[in-house]
């Protein structure tokens, strides 16, 4: 289920990385600004995104 959420985001980031990163950064800043303890979840979200991107790159190389 989580992969179904992340894969469209990663596809969008592959097409236009700068716009996608700006949107994700803006939403993350808004969430953290209004609910500071959510910073932990934002960091986990970003870390899992990088992990999935790494796994997708491994699959593409094979």
Q: How far apart are CA 11 and CA 22, in angstroms?
A: 15
| Per-residue confidence band for 2, with pLDDT thresholds at 50, 70 and 90 | low
Which pLDDT does position 1 carry in this prediction?
61
- Over residues 10-41, the pLDDT tens digits come to 777 777 767 777 877 888 788 878 887 877 88
pTM exceeds 0.85, yes or no: no
- Report the run of H or E that residue 2 belongs to, with start and end: helix 2-15
- How far is residue 10 CA from its own chain's centroid? 7
Backbone angles phi, psi at 35, to 5 degrees: -145, 80
Question: CA dist 34 to 27, 29, 41, Å?
Answer: 11, 9, 14
């Amino acid at each position: 289920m989580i992969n179904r959420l992340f894969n469209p985001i990663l596809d969008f980031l592959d097409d236009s990385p700068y716009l996608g990163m700006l949107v994700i950064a803006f939403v993350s800043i808004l969430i953290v600004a209004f609910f500071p303890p959510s910073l932990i979840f934002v960091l986990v979200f970003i870390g899992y995104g990088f992990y999935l991107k790494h796994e997708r790159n491994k699959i593409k190389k094979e």
